[in-house]
Amino acid sequence: MLKDDVLKLILRENDYISGETISHKLGVSRAAVNTAVKALREDGYEITSSTNKGYLLKNSPDLLSKGSISALLPDTRAENLLYFDSVDSTNNVLKSLASEGAVSGTVVIADHQTGGKGRRGRSFASPSGAGVYLSYLFKPESGFDKISDLTSWTAVAVADAIKNAYGFDTQIKWVNDLLMNRKKICGILTEVSVEGESGFIDTCIIGIGVNVNESEFPPEISEIATSISIENGGMKFIRAKLASEIIRSMDKLASDWPGSSYYLDRYRDLNITTGSMITAYPRMAENGQGRTGTAISINDDFSLKVEFADGSVEDLKSGEVSVRGLYGYT
């Protein structure tokens, strides 16, 4: 869309950019540039114009769009970036694009999800104008047979993106919740397709949802969930900045995969599960009986070493754990 391209040029320029330069760069008429600028102003962008100098961006609203995100990325990255105002789930949209042959690195991002999916069949609240809801397609060159490394690497990648975008540190609750002040600000849902013959994973849809500008949560989750804004006294953040940093981090993850020790080291640094009392729930029985013990360490394969109350020591590879002191668990 021309509006996205014009926005990209105006956003990237720290000074005035002339209408002539824009029309030349985009191969469109000056009138078309004027119309695009008018539409951007209607969206809330404060763009001043001066007869001799051209256009200058004075203020940006917190709007996600292909233009606002790709302005912060290298030019070629926009090719595999799809933005929607509203979808049921970015994971679902990307899954169907993957089945039509979308390339590794394709990103689907939306301002709003009507059916955002969480782990274990739960829903993920995805209101408009508040969060970053993004799915990243990863097709490893040689298949692999366990997903835990990838979801844990992703937690590190998103933590780094938040740090780069806004300067904040986050923590990781095993296996891949990101926390700020001990409450959840980000969830990750990785869905895979497995090659029948080898059992290797060949396509991964990595779904990432970050609570950025929400000002409140429904009572049933307010003890668990928070947003970056709530934890910073109601300050609002530009989501396009975070979206672009997540894309950069995930591109780096894809090129580092599978042979970098950075992710395990950083995961261990950020993790706040070890040393705590936990209750572990086996795969399908979160509401059933859990087993209580102490989380001892993160193993090299990102599994969690736990010493249970009966003295047995086990490595948890998947499932869910409640951590004492987090999410209202006392």
Q: Name the segment binding ligand BTN (CB under 6 A); options: 68-76, 147-155, 205-213, 248-256.
A: 205-213
* Among the listed residues 47, 155, 188, 280, the single contact to ligand BTN using CB under 6 A: 188
* Among the listed residues 83, 124, 267, 302, the single contact to ligand BTN using CB under 6 A: 124
- DSSP tag of 232: G
Nearer to ligand BTN, 181 or 312 (CB): 181
Asked if 105 is part of the footprint of ligand BTN (rule: CB under 6 A), the reply reads: no
Asked if 189 is part of the footprint of ligand BTN (rule: CB under 6 A), the reply reads: yes
Asked if 187 is part of the footprint of ligand BTN (rule: CB under 6 A), the reply reads: yes
* Among the listed residues 77, 112, 119, 139, the single contact to ligand BTN using CB under 6 A: 119
Strands (E), 45-198: 46-50, 54-59, 81-87, 107-113, 131-138, 171-173, 177-180, 183-194
* Among the listed residues 207, 213, 245, 323, the single contact to ligand BTN using CB under 6 A: 207
Asked if 283 is part of the footprint of ligand BTN (rule: CB under 6 A), the reply reads: no
* Shortest distance (Å) from residue 132 CB to ligand BTN: 8
* Shortest distance (Å) from residue 133 CB to ligand BTN: 4
* Shortest distance (Å) from residue 189 CB to ligand BTN: 4
Helical H segments across 257-309, by residue range: 262-270
Q: Binding mask 138-177 vs ligand BTN (x if CB under 6 A, - otherwise)?
A: ----------------------------------------
Sequence-distant (≥ 6) Cβ neighbours of residue 196 within 8 angstroms: none
Nearer to ligand BTN, 55 or 153 (CB): 153
Helical H segments across the chain, by residue range: 2-12, 19-26, 30-43, 66-70, 90-99, 148-166, 239-256, 262-270
- Helix, strand, or coil (residue 168): coil
The CA distances from residue 217 to 24, 222, 271, in Å, are 47, 5, 25
Q: Name the segment binding ligand BTN (CB under 6 A); options: 16-24, 153-161, 206-214, 270-278.
A: 206-214
* Shortest distance (Å) from residue 7 CB to ligand BTN: 24
Nearer to ligand BTN, 179 or 188 (CB): 188
Four-point Cα dihedral 110, 124, 189, 164, nearest 10: 60
Q: Nearest-CA neighbor of 135 among 185, 70, 87?
A: 87
Asked if 226 is part of the footprint of ligand BTN (rule: CB under 6 A), the reply reads: no
* Among the listed residues 65, 70, 91, 229, the single contact to ligand BTN using CB under 6 A: 91
Rounded to whole angstroms, how far apart are CA atoms 178 and 187?
A: 7
List phi, psi (to 5°) of 164: -70, -35
* Shortest distance (Å) from residue 108 CB to ligand BTN: 8
Peptide bond connecting 258 to the previous residue in cis, omega within 30 degrees of 0? yes
- DSSP tag of 102: P
Rounded to whole angstroms, how far apart are CA atoms 245 and 223?
A: 28
* Shortest distance (Å) from residue 302 CB to ligand BTN: 17
- State the residues that interact with ligand BTN by CB under 6 A: 89-91, 113, 116-119, 122, 124, 133-135, 187-189, 207-209
